[in-house]
Structure 1
């Protein structure tokens, strides 16, 4: 294994030696030889006389200082570094001309081409692929950008900020446009798009009465599929004014959808660039989940205008300051647009499926890391999802009013700054008087805290004692942890389902319905409790912890039926299911699913029949834990085949008991109605399709026939894909014809074919690996497109647990081979695929050895990219 480059450490942070106050960029676009002239207005901060600017695969074509070309002995230039010696100790102008090849840029960082258009991606370190620069977040500059291109090739010329001069260049067939962004920003927020694109246009009037011109650009012919995104944008703008008092600040706001993109989207100031899967939607091609994702990602990138752009992060260690905070904001927006209870459950499912395994494995790191080798590898669930949970806890501790006061102070104090977590927390402490010293550990300690709860009721003295104990497992580089401040929202449920009153409480700080757990162990005593309560703890998932409570099956069933907190009703059903599934996957199970099964089926039946509950909530409860969830709960010596068999047995048991009731619900919800992506209609479809998925698991002729009929007659992608997925996930032969029909119907729509690729890859059958290998050569697959890669290879590695974790190691070898090949062209996407190996140590010995062998083969490969080397090194550590 080759040595990694020296890491970056938070402790080594030092301010830049130079400011770059203004950046004037002049692009002469060409498919293979784009010339970029960068005029940098530079101001020394101290006594430094040597200026070092970073690059990445750059070709220097010209260099001058204050208008005079520099002599050859006055500088040194390599593709990755420009060193200028003896610079003045006063402000000066440095002009740099570089030549780049957008068509050859397969890394999709910097300036590249996507389906005929020029576009950029500069976060985190893409700007250095355009020109030499102080490419760091704390260098904030005012940008003016001039773009010149062939008018026939690129009639549309866009950049950050507001539009300025534009026109034709006589006799050349070329034209130009100038854009100016008056708000200082770091280079990672620079953006440029040029091409021939269709558009949907609208406008928005801000709360102060300013008109903002809005536009969403896409490939010609797909304009109608942008309408929902435009609606989501306008709702996001209004919501941010109402919820946070934040008004948009430029005259225009543009979004461009491109098909080749490493990430989901990018919040470049005034010019958001999106992966087209998070913009394009219509009923025939997008599912309800797609609509929700479009809404959420549009909101997320817009909300970055304040939490990320107007206030950016001082250094990349503070990445959660913009991402975690903005995820919290987009979650709140979606909760207000849809069902708050269902959105909370969905977000926690994502956290538990993606972030908990990261926290429990070799890639664990704090929400604010203190060391990294490649920053691109720290766009992680810990930074995003756990970062959002930390902000949510802050709101829970301070209350909504206190939280809003802190946010207002943060916006007012740090507008135009590159800020830190300490800056952020200081605003809340000052606004509310709260000591957040212990709370700040959430940013510096990795790992998922474990909270054990035990209750005792003293009927004679009408007293209930609740003991809470916290522990945090060791993580890489952090063997010993300090107790955290954990807000535990709670209720004590009485026999009638209402929360019991109590006369007094002692043993911990309790604010209303929130217990503040701050020590390793605390006993909270409630006086004046009339009867034995059923404790409802961590309501609304008030902290990102693993809760262990020795609740009986009867108490859990009671919670499913009676808890007024929707999240804990769902969680109680999940706990019952998990107990049964873990028992069924154990070596001694011998085909049993455990004693919890009758209580679970009773609980599911109660929710299925309760028409007072939201359909979307009922659908969530009916979705039992996934194979990955079960493996995570088992924790060690996992046998994926036994896990899959346990889950299959439980689903069959549910259908055996509830079959007629499931069929009745599916039939009742099948009445014709016009399609709408709104939350109410989407919830009805979610319940109907959750029921269908369970029914098809039985393999009964009636259930399979219902799925085939729904697939063939559905008038929307949600129902069509759900029926096809049910056939695929049950590995039924009827899937083959349906998959073929689906492909033929959508063969010209790449985003829909991504769904087809993922379903092909997720079939839980031994032949699936060969099918996935064959699909690598299919015309619908392109290894150059990150969406296709994530759909097929990523779908296989993340969704098909039994086949990726095959005992013969073939699944590991396939992904390893693909990663090694992809790493030469797109290291960022390759490294992210490799994260599928994060839980390899939890496998039983045969699989563990096979996974380790595959990882070591990757690690020993020559010329491995820093991105992939970083992930594989940490995964093996």
Structure 2
């Protein structure tokens, strides 16, 4: 195969011309849609060669200022066309033909389920028409859509509707105009037989915004939560950031076949239906929260992404990291700040840290890429959000908001860089933030090590700090804010009096003292301490780092018991749990050593269970063992079998040791009350699920789960019961009953597929192959593919890591098949295979072999090629 081209940030050059307006006409047809694009070029140079991107297009005609061009007037290739500018200002008309029905890659304009839909980020617009498909070209778009009336009830595009009517007896049209200049990746079009749910929102300035939610007719009764979430997000963004919506109409369309979660196209957001549709009987608490969060995220993009956009795709975290941070703040305000923060940290450490340690590790501002779709990653999004949070920590809420206001004042309507954002923050607060640049360009997870020494004779505590980064050891140090607090052993706060020479490094912030570690090695000394204190560190997870300390089990137990920072309390008991799990791994490897609960951890669990006043959401998180992925991160190579056995044994010991507590708490929480989506109700159900999980490890656990399944009044409880039954023979009857009831609800059926892909009952690989052959499995539907292959590879530790390598080979076969259908989905499924170097033989060689076979394919997309080739490259 031809090696794909690698793109570098250092090669960026601005366009030597502008396109100020784009007038598009779509004559929709499943097999042959005709697209006419009229572009007004300005600031060009006569005789200048101009390149337009294009992919999988049939060029019908090309004309310049109304004069048709012949084939001799331009050069056409597989990636675009080139022509010569005749003068500084001119009009180019391009007519192309595309086949939406045949577009299984779901990029550009495609047709699925009878509806037309677009996805243009990152580089999908070039599949619609020839155009400079890059984010720094902003133009004003007007879109005319012509389509048969039958099957196309609504014709939608960006902006506001300015005209609509009949073309003839069989066809109608609609014209949409977006007055705000935007890049091509924000273009959107939808047409189909949809139902509309309409509401309004009155802005703080008194404008009435029409809110339209479009879904397939059978889903009309599952939209209330999405609409309520949108209105909450609009009100919150006005209240917290002073940002008001700018168009007269805001539209959301839910589609079943979508590669991403959602897309923030200006005025016309297109969503994966997973993040729109919900009723208590069809969606879990996690689904409800996901909908609220993603609806908000895409709405917040109207300013952080649309009004101010990216100069180039290397700046992706400029909009995504910032907007993830904003949606995290929103969810925290809507539900529980403490629980939200811990859940975000769990996701970061269990998944993004793994990405940081692997062959696809990259900075939040990548310096090169082969396929841009591969960089919509946890690093760019979640780690990017943590870097934005650093600004908020260092500047405080008021300073951060000052920076945001200046950012919008300077750059509204422009395509800019992460440096522009950083400079706005710095200038608004009159501080030097140049050191923050290192957070954007260093790959890998920073490691912070601290040693503590208490000197009773001088009543001083010395903290010796070291920062390092295995992926970027030669790089300058990062500015790392570390939240700190000192406690005396009796739970009373200890004074924090740094020596004079250390005072500048200890910052007073809204969340308490923060130590700024900005050198490779640094010392911090506190005085006036009459006893050796317990040190509370990295409070509120103040930086995305791995912290190594010498804290004893006794100190961790005290922090778990009385620290006033929820993250530190949770982290302390999680550290004790991790110690127990790692000791269990040693015991399993020793073969003749019994697995036990470490005394400090056992005591910690008992104390958490006994704390009646502790928030139930925090209690649920504290009583849950660390994720398997996080446990694996502690080892190199990863002892797969020992970790798996140890994890199961520790779960079993917890179930048996606290059996009476799990039963009593489960019975207390198992109340038949109407479903409510609020922080308290969610926390109750979450804790109830934890109890059920441990009860399921006991002999009568399946009976308890079966009873819950029969009595459940909402999908959260129903799915919890099925998860508890999932690895036992008793699963057969309820699984069949669930299927029969929900087989016609695609999103609910995805849950059914996912449960079975995760199951350890029977032969996991044979089970997955049976699911792939099931009549309701469709390779063209990303959600269904993710529910089987994505869940199997990421959540079925037992099956995926089968010692004979069958799990790896199964995934490799499916990636190869999917690469011909939808390369984006195939590439995302490849990620679990990239960890082969961290496994011991024979698993590492088996996984490496699968990657080698993929790379040897004669036809391999650039999406999959990039991940596989980087995974196999010599270290």
Equivalent residue number for residue 9 of structure 1: 8
Contact 1:493 1:535 in 2 (8 A): yes
Deviation at 1:593, TM superposition (A): 7.2
Q: Which deviations, in whole Å up to 9, do the C-alpha atoms of 1:686-714 show, x marking residues without a partner?
A: 0011111011123x22x221111001110
Aligned match of 2:190: 193
Which residue of 1 is the match for residue 621 of structure 2? 620
Do the aligned residues in 2 keep the contact of 1:761 with 1:768 (CA within 8 Å)?
Answer: yes
Q: Provide the rounded CA distance (Å) in 1 between the counterparts of 2:697 and 2:251.
A: 46
Aligned residue among 799, 811, 816 for 2:812: 816
* Residues 605, 591 of structure 1: alpha-carbon distance in 2 compared, 3 angstrom cutoff: farther
Separation of aligned partners in 2, 1:403 and 1:670: 43
**What's the offset of the Cα at 1:479?**
5.8
Alignment pair present for 1:500 and 2:498 = no
Q: Cα 1:235–1:11, aligned 2, differ >3 Å: closer, same or farther?
A: same
Report what 1:78 is aligned to. Answer: 77
The residue aligned with 2:686 is 686
Does the aligned pair in 1 maintain the 2:364–2:384 contact within 8 Å?
Answer: yes
TM alignment of 1:584-599, pairs within 5 A: 584-586=584-586, 588-590=589-591, 592=593, 597-599=598-600
CA contact (8 A) 1:215 1:254 kept: yes
CA–CA separation in structure 2 for the residues paired with 1:648 and 1:592: 15
CA distance in 1, matches of 2:530, 2:547: 26
844, 849, 858: which one aligns with 2:845: 849
Give the structure 2 partner of residue 326 of structure 1.
323
Matches within 5 A, 1:46-195: 46=45, 49-85=48-84, 87-171=85-169, 173-195=170-192
Q: Distance in 1 between matches of 2:422 and 2:494?
A: 35
Task: Give the stretch that moved more between structures: 533-542 or 36-45.
Answer: 36-45
Tell me whether 1:764 sits opposite 2:760 in the alignment.
Answer: yes
Contact 1:576–1:596 (CA<8 Å) still a contact in 2? Answer: no
Task: Work out the CA distance in 2 between the residues paired with 1:624 and 1:145.
Answer: 53
Q: Classify the secondary structure of the residue corresponding to 2:232.
A: helix
**What is the Cα deviation at residue 679 of structure 1?**
1.6
Q: What is the Cα deviation at residue 782 of structure 1?
A: 0.6
Q: Is the 8 A contact 2:198 2:212 kept in 1?
A: yes
| Local SS of the residue matching 2:434 | coil
Contact 2:596–2:650 (Cα < 8 Å) also in 1:
no
Query: Equivalences for 1:620-769 in 2 at 5 Å?
Result: 620-634=621-635, 636-698=636-698, 700-701=699-700, 703-728=701-726, 731-765=727-761, 767-769=763-765
Whether 2:272 is the aligned partner of 1:275: answer yes
| Structure 1 residue 557, shift from structure 2 partner | 1.2
Deviates more, 1:743-752 or 1:377-386: 743-752
Residue equivalent to 1:436: 433
What displacement does 1:39 show?
0.2
Q: What SS does the corresponding residue of 2:423 show, helix, strand or coil?
A: helix
Does 1:491 pair with 2:491? no
Give TM-score, length-normalised by structure 1: 0.97
- Superposition pairs of residues 27-38 of structure 1, within 5 angstroms: 27-38=26-37
The offset of 1:205, in angstroms, is 0.6
The 5 Å alignment of 1:355-374 reads: 355-374=352-371
1:777 equivalent in alignment to 2:777: no
Moved more, 361-370 or 743-752: 743-752
Q: Does 1:44 align with 2:43?
A: yes
Q: Residues 124-523 of structure 1: matches in 2 within 5 Å?
A: 124-171=122-169, 173-474=170-471, 478=472, 480-505=474-499, 506-507=501-502, 509-512=505-508, 513-523=513-523
- Between 1:303-312 and 1:400-409, the stretch displaced more is 400-409
Q: Choose 215-224 or 386-395, whichever is displaced more.
A: 215-224
Q: CA deviation at 1:521?
A: 1.2
| CA offset digits 1:797-849 (Å, max 9, x no partner) | 00012311221111010000000011011001000100111222111121000
How far off is 1:740 after superposition?
A: 1.6
Partner of 1:840: 836
- State the SS of the aligned residue for 1:775: helix
Q: How far, CA to CA, are the matches of 2:610 and 2:689 in structure 1?
A: 16
> Separation in 1 of the partners of 2:142 and 2:695?
60
Partners of 1:123 and 1:797 in 2: CA distance = 27
Distance in 2, Cα, partners of 1:499 & 1:115: 61
**2:798 alignment partner, one of 802, 806, 809:** 802
Q: Specify whether residues 592 and 598 from structure 1 end up closer, same or farther in structure 2 by C-alpha distance, changes over 3 A only.
A: farther
1:529, CA displacement in angstroms? 1.8
Give the drift of 1:609. 2.0
- How far the C-alpha of 1:222 sits from its partner, in A, is 1.1
Tell me the distance in 1 between the aligned counterparts of 2:592 and 2:292: 44
User: Within 1, Cα distance between the matches of 2:464 and 2:46?
Assistant: 59
CA drift of 1:766 comes to 5.7
Whether contact under 8 Å (2:187, 2:266) holds in the other structure is yes
Segment of structure 1 superposing worse, 586-595 or 857-866: 586-595
In 2, the alpha carbon distance for the partners of 1:732 and 1:597 equals 29
Change (3 A) 1:279 1:593: farther
The separation in 1 between residues aligned to 2:386 and 2:363, in whole angstroms, is: 13
Contact 2:808–2:846 (CA under 8 A) maintained in structure 1: yes
User: Cα deviations across residues 421-467 of structure 1 (Å, max 9, x unaligned)?
Assistant: 11000001111122112121000000101111111112222211111
Separation in 1 of the partners of 2:203 and 2:594? 57
**Aligned in 2, Cα 1:694/1:639: closer, same or farther, shift over 3 Å?**
same
Deviation at 1:482, TM superposition (A): 2.1
Give unpaired runs (5+ residues) of structure 2.
none
CA deviations over 1:295-345 (Å, ceiling 9, x no partner) = 000000000000000000000000000000000000000000000000001
Moved more, 209-218 or 575-584: 575-584
**Shift in Å, 1:596:** 6.2
Q: Is the 8 A contact 2:696 2:705 kept in 1?
A: yes
Aligned CA distance change for structure 1 residues 546 and 684 (closer, same or farther; 3 Å): same
Maintained 8 Å contact 1:769/1:811 = yes
Q: Give 1:75 deviation, angstroms.
A: 0.9
Cα distance in structure 1, aligned partners of 2:793 and 2:498: 52
Structure 1 pair 595–534 and aligned structure 2 pair: CA distance change class (3 A):
farther
Report if the CA contact (8 A) 1:765-1:803 is conserved. no
Query: How far apart, in 1, do the equivalents of 2:807 and 2:485 lie?
Result: 46
Using the size of structure 2 for normalisation, the TM-score is: 0.97
Contact 1:622 1:691 in 2 (8 A): no
CA distance in 2, matches of 1:503, 1:44: 62
Cα separation, 2, equivalents of 1:622 and 1:60: 61
User: Does the 8 Å contact 1:628/1:801 carry over to 2?
Assistant: no
Rounded to whole Å, the distance in 2 between the matches of 1:470 and 1:828 is 36
Do 2:595 and 2:646's aligned partners in 1 also have CA atoms closer than 8 Å? no
Other structure's SS at 1:82 match: strand
**Pairwise CA RMSD:** 1.3
Q: Distance in 2 between matches of 1:509 and 1:115?
A: 59
Query: Do the aligned partners of residues 591 and 577 (structure 1) sit closer, same or farther apart at CA in structure 2, a change above 3 Å counting?
Result: farther
CA shift in 2, pair 1:850/1:527, >3 Å: same
Contact 2:46–2:86 (CA<8 Å) still a contact in 1?
A: no
Kept in 1: contact 2:482–2:542 (CA 8 A): yes
On the 8 A contact 1:451/1:547 being kept in 2, the answer is yes
2-side partners of 1:697 and 1:409: how far apart?
56
**Inter-partner Cα distance in structure 2 for 1:112 and 1:548:** 50
Unaligned runs of 5+ in 1: none
